[in-house]
Copies of this chain bind each other. A is one copy, B any other.
Amino acid sequence: MPRIVQKYGGTSVGDVERIKKVAERIKSTRDSGNELVVVVSARAGVTNELIARAKAVSPHPSERELDQLLAVGEQETCALTAMALHGLGVEAVSYTGAQAGIFTDKVHTKAKIKTINAAPIEKDLKAGRVVIVAGFQGINEDGHVTTFGRGASDLSAIALAAALKADRCEVYTDVDGVYTADPRVVKNARKLEEISYDEMLELASSGSKVMMSRSVEFAKKYNVVFEVRSSFNYNPGTIVKEEVAYMEKVVVRGVAVDKDQAKVIVSNILDKPGSAARVFRALADANVNVDMIVQNVGRHGIANLTFTVPQGDSHKAVKTLEPVLDEIGGGQVAIHEHVAKLSVVGVGMKTHSGVAATLFQTLADAGINIELISTSEIKISIVIDLDRADEAARLAHDAFHLESLGS
């Protein structure tokens, strides 16, 4: 019997009516003759409510307790989904992350999955039950609840698909799939039929909200093919898989904008070996996610280091760096928050030149100033003024003819 792992996001299970709709979809997949494991997120908004309550009792809640608290959001929808299935006459059982045997390391709020003990789920599948698993959470070897970070219910689904050797993995969300750009911003954006892990990764890390990078990385590592699709209709979605030859014919696959960015400028530091390493080691230890990094060495061996971080981390970055600057011989640190990152992504870039030139010229013609540039094999990212980010996305989408190219 084919084995499918499905994952339903927070808007898909946003209220009891939607949970009942999801149950109907699960039943129909089940009735088509499939074994089924379903991962659910918390109802949309619940995680934010819980965080608000946490901050109201304590300005800096402990991460161990945050995990313990946030895990309840998924546990609720998980049990409700199982009940809704019972209401439709489908045998089902709900599991917390711990009950599902999802063991993680000890890093609270950003835990990594170490191993999954699939035995309990296998047993329930054999008994003919649909297994519903609370996403986003696991347990560490000391018995403490851990969570994987916001949006990481996808990770639960992909990890379970790998551990259970599922034939298919379907990630249900509130969008139809992966688009060449955000359709709310770029009107002629087009849904892609297929996309490679690497492209999806670059899009994810570039602010496309469809999925978290970690989930895609995990899928790539374990070669889990998955489909991103909508729970609100029956349209086919976008298949995410290993790159295939014909994909490279398309130079640029999509344009992404990330507005949750702050630029941190560390200026006037001595350009000596180890300075940059010291800076980024300190940021890593403080769990600050650094994205783009650019370093310029000016006159007299004085260097400027510029990088971007998520806006929520920018003050932590400054606080972390102030003592480090003293240590490495002075310098100043400043934040510029009114920025956005725009990225163009495509595996075809590897073999085509001129993508950067086209992008820079397009923006120059519109008088949009580029503050930072960073490139990878299949991506070019730039930091620009926040106010012009949407316009830049539309211009880039047109420049690369993304509305009409075959996906």
| Chain B positions within 8 Å of A76 at CB level | 50, 53, 69, 72
Asked whether A38 is an interface residue with its Cβ less than 8 Å from the other chain, the reply is: no
| Chain B positions within 8 Å of A83 at CB level | 54, 57-58, 61-62, 65-66, 69
Per the 8 Å Cβ criterion, residues 64-123 of A in contact with B are 64-66, 68-69, 71-72, 75-76, 78-84, 86-87, 93-94, 96, 98-99, 120
Asked whether A19 is an interface residue with its Cβ less than 8 Å from the other chain, the reply is: yes
User: In the complex, which residue of chain B has the Cβ closest to the Cβ of A67?
Assistant: B79
Cβ contact of A78, chosen from B64, B68, B87, B143, cutoff 8 A: B68
Known: A64-B93, A75-B68. A19 touches B57 (CB 8 A): yes
Q: Are A82 and B65 in contact (CB under 8 A)?
A: yes
| Chain B positions within 8 Å of A145 at CB level | 96
| Chain B positions within 8 Å of A56 at CB level | 16
Q: Are A57 and B87 in contact (CB under 8 A)?
A: yes
Give the docked Cα–Cα distance between A96 and B79 (Å): 17
| Chain B positions within 8 Å of A81 at CB level | 57
Q: Report how many residues on chain A are interfacial, defined by Cβ distance under 8 Å.
A: 41
| Chain B positions within 8 Å of A93 at CB level | 64-65
Give the docked Cα–Cα distance between A296 and B79 (Å): 46
Asked whether A397 is an interface residue with its Cβ less than 8 Å from the other chain, the reply is: no
Known: A23-B57, A99-B143. A62 touches B86 (CB 8 A): yes
Give the docked Cα–Cα distance between A57 and B88 (Å): 10
Q: Are B59 and A87 in contact (CB under 8 A)?
A: yes
Asked whether A20 is an interface residue with its Cβ less than 8 Å from the other chain, the reply is: yes
Give the Cβ gap from A93 to chain B, nearest Cβ, in Å: 7
User: In the complex, which residue of chain B has the Cβ closest to the Cβ of A54?
Assistant: B83
Q: Are B57 and A20 in contact (CB under 8 A)?
A: yes
Give the docked Cα–Cα distance between A99 and B76 (Å): 18
Q: Are B69 and A79 in contact (CB under 8 A)?
A: yes
| Chain B positions within 8 Å of A99 at CB level | 143-144
Q: Are B68 and A87 in contact (CB under 8 A)?
A: no
Give the docked Cα–Cα distance between A99 and B86 (Å): 28
| Chain B positions within 8 Å of A50 at CB level | 76
Q: Are A62 and B75 in contact (CB under 8 A)?
A: no
Q: Are A69 and B80 in contact (CB under 8 A)?
A: yes
Give the Cβ gap from A159 to chain B, nearest Cβ, in Å: 20
Contact with B along A19-44 (1 / 0, CB 8 A): 11001000000000000000000000
A-B CB contact pairs (8 Å), 11 listed = A19-B57, A57-B80, A57-B81, A58-B83, A58-B84, A58-B86, A62-B86, A75-B75, A96-B145, A99-B143, A99-B144
A residues neighboring B (CB under 8 Å): 16, 19-20, 23, 50, 53-54, 56-62, 64-66, 68-69, 71-72, 75-76, 78-84, 86-87, 93-94, 96, 98-99, 120, 143-145
**8 tightest CB-CB pairs across the interface, nearest first?**
A58-B87, A69-B79, A72-B72, A57-B84, A16-B56, A58-B83, A68-B79, A61-B83
Supplied contacts A16-B56, A53-B80, 8 more A-B pairs, CB within 8 Å: A53-B76, A54-B79, A60-B87, A62-B82, A64-B93, A96-B145, A98-B98, A99-B144
